Structure 1
Amino acid sequence: MKRDYSKVFAACKTIRREYKDVVDEFTKGRHCSLRQLTDKEFGDLEMLLKEMTGRVRPGNSQRQKMFAIATKMKWGKDARERNQAIDDWLMKQKYGKPLMQLTLDELNRSLYIFETKVYKDYLKGLNK
């Protein structure tokens, strides 16, 4: 298994702890280096750090999909403009909330509308 140490270092920086201290605490003093961990231990440590940093937010995949569709439709020149365009569209919809404030259920429904109506209308406009 190929290991990506950069994720561990980034997570440790986020929680403001030295990676050696995290490894030492995780292994209860058996190891102090990432190289000494077994593949299973390394995977478990990555999962633990992911939970500690809170990086996995419900709805991230839906948000990413919405951004990808907006990119295909050329909404904005950069990520900031694209985010603003998505928020503007969402504010006109049923829930009247920006992207990051939608619940998971609201996000799923909004994404469905975005895919089936907005994107399809965009594609139809290209074929004219």
Structure 2
Amino acid sequence: MKEIEVVAAIIFDGEHVLCVQRAPSKYAYTSLKYEFPGGKVEANETQKEALEREIKEELSMSIIVGSEYLTVRHSYPDFTILMHSYLCIATDRSLVLHEHVDAKWLEIEEFKQLDWAAADVPIVDKLMEEKA
């Protein structure tokens, strides 16, 4: 099965974290699910560079990338992803949705109200455990 290396940004603005909703897709198991924004790492870049580039491309937003938070390997029916998540800070809350259909700034305690992509659930769970 094909494995895809990706990065994800856990973007904080004070006590709020940015959660974005994927657009409809051919895979029902990821279609319209919420996730932490990010994308694929290209051959010529570091994970942090990939994260900064993806956030600019997807959200027209600049972030400060901090420390790596959690790496998740998740197998979906058609592919596996290796996702490296990073704690980030928003330099500004303004954003433009280029690929997603919704964005919410939520406190960690509010995360369970969203329907998360399966690969993001371990990150959600860890953030919620640490906040409790």
- The higher-RCO structure (CA 8 Å, 6+ apart) is 2
After TM superposition, the score normalised by the length of structure 1 is 0.21
Larger radius of gyration: 1
Normalised TM-score (structure 2) = 0.21
Higher strand share: 2
